[in-house]
Amino acid sequence: MYSSRKIYLPIVAIVLAGGSLAGAAEPGSFGYGRVATPAQIAGWDIDVRGEDGAGLPPGKGTVDRGADVYAEQCAACHGTFGEGEGRFPKLVGGVGSLRDERPEPTVGSYWPFAPTLWDYINRAMPMPAPHTLSADDVYALTAYILNLNDLVPQEFVADRNSLPKVKMRNRDNFIWTDPRPDTMAKPCMNDCVNAADVSISSTAEGRNLTPRTTGPLDTMQPK
């Protein structure tokens, strides 16, 4: 039989070793992995900053060229003029609608920064074949969509210098610090409201919005 003392000693040693590792602060002290080379970084370093366009690559694109690329790559989902097909997002319109009962947030009415549009097309579009467009074509699409929204003229040429200068309509209407908590409810326990004041303002009963089955594997039954 081992004595309990013999068992405990190695555990203490492990804890001490772990403690010294966790306290490591010098870069590379574990030494795992490889230092990323400039070529490796360049391959993945695709991000573009919205506010100043930092990261936009060389290249350029016109509104006219953008119209051609758009018709081929985008119109099927987003509509010929950016009006959106089905529930795919509208890209155009909604200006002045943000205080309405049914606001329409689009590139023209809502997006605060034009370089974000370049970044998003480049990183995610077209949805079935992302990362297949050239930088020039992404510039051209950006120019075309900005032009559809009357944010740039027909002769606009999008490039790394011109895009950050496009003034977006909603740019100054974002608050980038979270004001919450913005409710100050108190946890009342008894007689918190008059019984006569308790009333139902809306019910999901009978609205017929709740899915009852979502596929052949789903045995969920209507109530």
Partner 1 sequence: MRPPGEENVRHNPLRSKAILSDLAGPDAPLGRRSFLTLGAALTGSLAIGGKPALADPAQGSPPADAPWSQSIGAGVVDRPYGRPADTEASVIRRNVPWLTASMESSVSFSPLQDLHGIITPNGLFFERHHAGRPDVDPAQHKLMIHGLVERPLLLTMKDILRFPSISRIHFIECPANGGMNWRAAQMNSLQFSHGMVSCAEWTGVRLSTLLEEVGVKKEAKWAMVEGADGAHMNRSLPLDKCLDDCLVVYAQNGEALRPEQGYPLRLVVPGWEGNVNIKWLRRIKLGDKPWHSREETSKYTDLMPDGTSRGFTWLIDAKSVITFPCPEKPLDGPGLYEIRGLAWTGNGKVKRVDVSMDGGINWQTARLHEPVLSKALTRFSLPWRWDGRPALVASRVIDETGYVQPTIVELRKQRGSNSVYHNNSIQTWQVKPDGSVFNVQLA
State which of positions 5-44 bind partner 1 (CB under 8 A). 18, 21-22, 24-30, 32-36, 40-41, 44
Task: Check binding of 87 to partner 1 (CB under 8 A).
Answer: yes
Q: How far is the CB of 119 from partner 1 (least distance, A)?
A: 7
Determine, following the binding rule CB under 8 A, whether residue 110 of this chain makes contact with partner 1. yes
Minimal distance, residue 109 CB to partner 1, in Å: 10
Residue of 57, 59, 79, 112 interacting with partner 1 (CB under 8 A): 112
Site size with partner 1, rule: CB under 8 A: 92
Long-range (24+ apart) CB contacts under 8 A made by 116-123 are 116/48, 116/50, 117/142, 117/145, 117/146, 118/48, 118/53, 118/56, 118/142, 118/158, 118/163, 119/46, 119/47, 119/48, 119/50, 119/55, 122/46, 122/48, 123/46, 123/47
CB 112 within 8 A of CB 174: yes
192 binds partner 1 (CB under 8 A): yes
With tokens 């074509």, the residue in question is: 137
**C-alpha to C-alpha distance for 151 and 164, rounded to whole angstroms:** 13
Residue 1 has a CB neighbour count (10 Å cut-off) of: 4
Question: In angstroms, rounded to a whole number, what is the distance separating the alpha carbons of residues 189 and 196?
Answer: 18
Select from 1-9, 63-71, 144-152, 172-180 the region that touches partner 1 (CB under 8 A).
Answer: 172-180
Which residues in the 151-170 window bind partner 1 by CB under 8 A? 170
For position 183 contacting partner 1 by CB under 8 A, the verdict is yes
- Closest to partner 1 by CB, 165 vs 180, is 180
Provide the minimum distance between the beta carbon of 174 and partner 1 in the complex, in angstroms, as a whole number: 5
CB of 31: closest distance to partner 1 in angstroms?
A: 9
**One residue of 47, 64, 150, 155 binding partner 1 per CB under 8 A:** 47
Rounded least distance, CB 70 to partner 1, Å? 18
139 binds partner 1 (CB under 8 A): no
50 binds partner 1 (CB under 8 A): yes
**From residue 208, how far is each of 71, 190, 215 by CA, in Å?**
37, 36, 18
The least CB distance from residue 158 to partner 1, in Å, is 17
Q: Residue 54, Cβ neighbours under 10 Å: how many? A: 12
Instruction: Show the CA angle centred on residue 191, arms to residues 189 and 194, nearest 5°.
Output: 140
CA-closest candidate to residue 76, choices 115, 116, 126: 126
Which CB sits closer to partner 1, 6 or 87? Answer: 87
